[in-house]
Amino acid sequence: MKILLIDDDRNMLSSLGFLLNEHGYTDLILASDCRQAREALKENQVDLCVIDYALPDGNGVDLAAEIKKSYPKIRNIIFTAYFSDDISNNFKSEAVYAAIPKKVSKLVELLEKK
């Protein structure tokens, strides 16, 4: 499974990449904003996008909608520090497969459910 990780916090992005690697998810692409994510999607066949909600050039939900429109088979997960059940419900849409708090354990748990 090829995963595109999108987060503007470079430390979070590299830590997330490292920890996912440790769990066997090794086919990773990193992007720090919407523009880089769009470029990565043009150049790679991605199965899943893990998208931070707050990005410098947009927000994760809008980016997820754009991705879903252009690449309907890609699943999008919103991965955010600004998480609550109310916020999670606001993130749910046809374009967003799941919204989870920024915890690697939650992401790995979701990935392993498939």
pLDDT at site 87? 56
CATH number at 3-108: 3.40.50.2300
pLDDT at site 94? 81
For the chain, the structural domain boundaries read 3-108
pLDDT at site 114? 60
Per-residue pLDDT 10s for the chain (114 aa) are 999 999 999 999 999 999 999 999 999 999 999 999 999 999 999 999 999 988 999 999 899 999 999 999 999 999 888 766 655 565 667 889 888 888 888 898 988 886
Longest Cα–Cα distance in the chain: 35
Q: What's the pTM?
A: 0.90
pLDDT at site 72? 96
Are the CB atoms for 67 and 45 separated by under 8 Å? no
Please report the DSSP string for 41-102 in residue order: HHHS--SEEEE-SEETTEEHHHHHHHHHHH-TT-EEEEEESS--HHHHHHH-BTTBSEEEES
